[in-house]
């Protein structure tokens, strides 16, 4: 589920916003749209990397539920 959310955010939110921003707001045309796609994917990927770091740190801090003969259940 986390991967789905990350992919949707990156491809449906960040990429179109930056593509439209550079193409229309900064009046760069088609080249701005291409650069916006690159920037949107880059920022989205960086954000997902930070999110994954927080997720893994929280996951590693949790304790196992129970131990049976030295093996975590």
Q: What is the DSSP string of the chain?
A: -HHHHHHHIIIIIIHHHHHHIIIIIS--HHHHHHHHHHHHHHHHHHHHHHHHHHHHHHHHHSPPS-EETTEE-
Is the pLDDT confidence value at 73 over 70? no
Give a yes or no: residue 50 inside a domain. yes
Give a yes or no: residue 71 inside a domain. no
Which structural domain range is residue 49 located in? 2-59
Question: How many separate domains does the chain show?
Answer: 1
The model carries a pTM of 0.76
* pLDDT one-digit tens code per residue, 6-34: 999 999 999 999 999 999 999 999 999 99
Give a yes or no: residue 72 inside a domain. no
| Average pLDDT for the chain | 90
């Amino acid at each position: 589920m986390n991967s789905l959310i990350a992919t949707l955010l990156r491809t449906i939110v960040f990429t179109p916003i930056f593509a439209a921003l550079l193409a229309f707001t900064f009046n760069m045309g088609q080249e701005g749209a291409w650069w916006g796609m690159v920037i949107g994917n880059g920022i989205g990927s960086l954000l997902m990397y930070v999110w994954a770091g927080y997720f893994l740190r929280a996951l590693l801090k949790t304790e196992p539920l129970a131990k049976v003969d030295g093996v975590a259940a």
